[in-house]
């Protein structure tokens, strides 16, 4: 995605600016103290779930043993320090994770939630009574009735999609800073490559956005839910790209980790946690829809028909009615079956990521199969056009096109596309 060689980068930068401005504007409608309490509540709830899981796996685990394990999780090492620092009104510089005040506040919250979670998490009022008496909770002691109502509504909605996307963002920020520390001379392109191969992108982003589907399907039809999920994935790709860009100065030199952490703390990510998945998608829709396919930060995609899972779309009539399936576990084959009902012989041009990879001749009324591998086409758009004889039998591109996204898969993957070639 080099600035010079890829014109799509300009589109992505425009999308980035729009997404960040929209997130920033969202903060003006919700008090920071409300977002602070909401984030701490979600972390406390996460610790409670972790405790229940640990008690199932090692049946006789004591609270002290569970506490020792919690201290090693991202909930304590990343989520709480970031949330507490924001609650205290500070930016999040390099030392945030080690500052005595932050560590002490985090230890206090974790210890109390582990030892007394049945009381603290029994109701919203009980949680707020506990949180107000902590160092991090000073900012919420004077919340007005409207803010309390907003917080109660956010918690009762049980929407965790935005919070989990915010957690992912915190991990990306930390990982980029760590990579810059390890190799101060690493380029943005190398950062993108390393992140595209990381567990955050390959596992966490797909898992979190797939989990958002449970919330989406409560109010939306499956097709719309899949579209919204894809918008969430595009949005997160845009966010990752901007986090990479902001880790350098205008001169392209690596920014000091402390400066980077302060800068990203001011980008408004706290606001993400306040949105349900529909709200995030609506906020970002106008800015990310101009990107014709996902970025390389999408990762793996679960099973589904090509329209829902991979965003198959056709323009005009040439390929109208085409359909197929994607499975994450498979033999690593991409199979396109061209079924012609055209009265003319045609050539189908196959492009991957904008580059021509094949021309397939399909005779009138014939069925032709073309195959390749998932690895050859992964992380790019697959684009089909048709050349059909025109005036004086001179072939010309006409009639329409077909577009879909082809993801990667650690389990091989399999794509089958029945591409209809119509008279048009």
With tokens 């050349």, the residue in question is: 387
> CA 248, CA 187: separation in Å to the nearest integer?
9
Q: Looking at the predicted structure, is the pLDDT value of residue 3 above 70?
A: no
- Which of 57-71, 72-86, 258-272, 409-423 has the highest average model confidence (pLDDT)? 409-423
In a domain, 154, yes or no: no
Q: Looking at the predicted structure, is the pLDDT value of residue 149 above 50?
A: yes
Q: How far is CA 371 from each of CA 4, 116, 332, 348, rounded to the nearest angstrom?
A: 33, 59, 11, 14
Same domain, 248 and 354: no
With tokens 């050859």, the residue in question is: 376
Q: Which of 92, 108, 142 is the last residue of a domain?
A: 142
In a domain, 265, yes or no: yes
Q: What is the DSSP letter of 330?
A: S
In a domain, 156, yes or no: no
Q: Are 113 and 44 in contact (CB under 8 A)?
A: yes
What is the predicted pLDDT for the residue at 404?
Answer: 83
pLDDT in tens, 4-15: 222 222 233 333
Same domain, 340 and 408: yes
What is the predicted pLDDT for the residue at 153?
Answer: 72
In a domain, 27, yes or no: no
Region class of 421: left (phi > 0), else alpha (psi between -120 and 50), else beta: beta
Same domain, 170 and 295: yes
CA of residue 340 relative to chain centroid, distance: 38
Q: How confident is the model at residue 27 (pLDDT cuts 50, 70, 90)?
A: very low
Q: Are 136 and 39 in contact (CB under 8 A)?
A: no
How big is the CA angle at 381 (ends 377 and 383), to the nearest 5 degrees?
A: 100
Helix (H) / strand (E) element for 49: namely helix 32-56
Q: Looking at the predicted structure, is the pLDDT value of residue 29 above 70?
A: no
In the sheet that holds 412-421, the strands lie side by side as 304-305, 323-329, 412-421, 333-340, 367-373
Same domain, 266 and 282: yes
Q: Which of 245, 273, 299 is the last residue of a domain?
A: 299
Among residues 89, 87, 129, the alpha carbon closest in space to that of 106 is found at 87
Among residues 373, 405, 74, the alpha carbon closest in space to that of 237 is found at 405
Going by C-beta distance under 8 Å and a sequence separation of 6 or more, which residues neighbour residue 197? none
Same domain, 318 and 368: yes
Q: Looking at the predicted structure, is the pLDDT value of residue 298 above 60?
A: no
In a domain, 158, yes or no: no
Same domain, 87 and 128: yes
Instruction: State which residues form the domain around 98.
Output: 32-142
pLDDT in tens, 93-116: 444 444 566 677 777 888 888 888
Higher local confidence (pLDDT), 23 or 351: 351
* 3-class DSSP assignment, residue 395: strand
Q: Are 338 and 331 in contact (CB under 8 A)?
A: no
Q: Are 139 and 87 in contact (CB under 8 A)?
A: yes
Same domain, 43 and 132: yes
What is the predicted pLDDT for the residue at 393?
Answer: 53
Helix (H) / strand (E) element for 314: namely strand 313-316
With tokens 């073309």, the residue in question is: 370
In a domain, 149, yes or no: no
Same domain, 232 and 359: no
> CA 233, CA 344: separation in Å to the nearest integer?
40
What is the predicted pLDDT for the residue at 324?
Answer: 93
SS in 3 state form for 134-201? CCHHHHHCCCCHHHHHHHHHHHHCCCCHHHHHHHHHHHHHHHHHHHHHHCCCCCHHHHHHHHHCCHHH
Higher local confidence (pLDDT), 342 or 282: 342
Same domain, 323 and 239: no
> How many distinct structural domains can be found in the chain?
3
The token duo for 373 is 């591998």
Same domain, 291 and 203: yes
Q: Looking at the predicted structure, is the pLDDT value of residue 381 above 60?
A: yes
What is the predicted pLDDT for the residue at 101?
Answer: 64
In a domain, 155, yes or no: no
Same domain, 178 and 294: yes
What is the predicted pLDDT for the residue at 168?
Answer: 78
CATH number for the domain harbouring residue 309: 2.60.40
Q: Are 323 and 307 in contact (CB under 8 A)?
A: yes
Same domain, 185 and 291: yes
Q: Which of 299, 317, 348 is the last residue of a domain?
A: 299
In a domain, 181, yes or no: yes
- Which of 174-188, 279-293, 354-368 has the highest average model confidence (pLDDT)? 354-368
Going by C-beta distance under 8 Å and a sequence separation of 6 or more, which residues neighbour residue 188? 244, 245, 247, 248
Higher local confidence (pLDDT), 157 or 120: 120
Q: Looking at the predicted structure, is the pLDDT value of residue 218 above 80?
A: no
What is the predicted pLDDT for the residue at 397?
Answer: 57
Q: Looking at the predicted structure, is the pLDDT value of residue 251 above 50?
A: no
pLDDT in tens, 54-98: 655 555 566 667 777 776 666 666 677 777 776 776 555 444 444
pLDDT in tens, 159-215: 677 777 777 777 777 788 788 878 878 887 788 888 877 887 777 777 777 777 777
């Amino acid at each position: 995605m080099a600035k010079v060689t890829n014109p799509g980068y300009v589109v992505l930068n425009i999308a980035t600016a729009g997404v960040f401005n929209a997130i920033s504007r969202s903060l003006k409608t919700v008090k920071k103290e409300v977002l602070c309490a909401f984030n701490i509540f979600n972390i406390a709830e996460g610790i409670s779930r972790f405790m229940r899981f640990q008690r199932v796996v090692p049946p006789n685990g004591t609270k002290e043993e569970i506490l020792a394990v919690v201290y090693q999780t991202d909930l304590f090492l990343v989520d709480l320090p970031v949330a507490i620092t924001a609650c205290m009104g500070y930016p999040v510089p390099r030392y945030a994770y080690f500052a005595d005040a932050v560590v002490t506040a985090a230890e206090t919250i974790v210890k109390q939630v582990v030892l007394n979670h049945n009381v603290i998490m029994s109701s919203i009022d009980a949680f707020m009574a506990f949180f107000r008496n902590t160092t991090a909770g000073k900012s919420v002691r004077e919340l007005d009735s409207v803010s309390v109502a907003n917080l109660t509504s956010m918690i009762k909605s049980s929407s965790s999609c935005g919070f989990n996307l915010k957690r992912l963002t915190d991990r990306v920020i930390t990982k980029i800073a760590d990579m810059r520390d390890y190799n101060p001379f690493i380029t943005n392109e190398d950062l993108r490559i390393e992140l595209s191969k990381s567990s955050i992108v390959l596992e966490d982003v797909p898992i979190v956005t797939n989990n958002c589907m449970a919330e989406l399907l409560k109010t939306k039809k499956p097709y719309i839910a899949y579209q919204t999920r894809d918008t969430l994935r595009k949005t997160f790709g845009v966010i990752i790209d901007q986090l990479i860009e902001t880790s350098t100065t205008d001169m392209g030199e690596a920014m000091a980790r402390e400066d980077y952490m302060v800068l990203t703390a001011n980008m408004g990510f706290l606001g993400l946690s306040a949105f349900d998945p529909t709200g995030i998608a609506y906020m970002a829709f106008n800015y990310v829809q101009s990107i014709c396919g996902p970025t390389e930060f999408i990762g793996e995609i679960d099973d589904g028909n090509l329209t829902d899972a991979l965003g198959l779309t056709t323009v005009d009539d040439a390929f109208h009615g085409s359909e197929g399936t994607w499975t994450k576990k498979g033999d690593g084959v991409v199979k396109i079956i061209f079924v012609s009902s055209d009265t003319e012989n045609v050539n189908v041009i196959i492009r991957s990521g904008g580059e021509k990879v094949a021309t397939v001749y399909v005779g009138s009324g014939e069925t032709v199969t073309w195959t390749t591998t998932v690895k050859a086409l992964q992380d790019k758009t697959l684009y089909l056009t048709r050349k059909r004889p025109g005036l004086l039998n001179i072939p010309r591109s006409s009639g329409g096109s077909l577009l879909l996204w082809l993801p990667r898969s650690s389990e091989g993957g399999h794509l089958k596309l029945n591409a209809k070639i119509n008279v048009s």
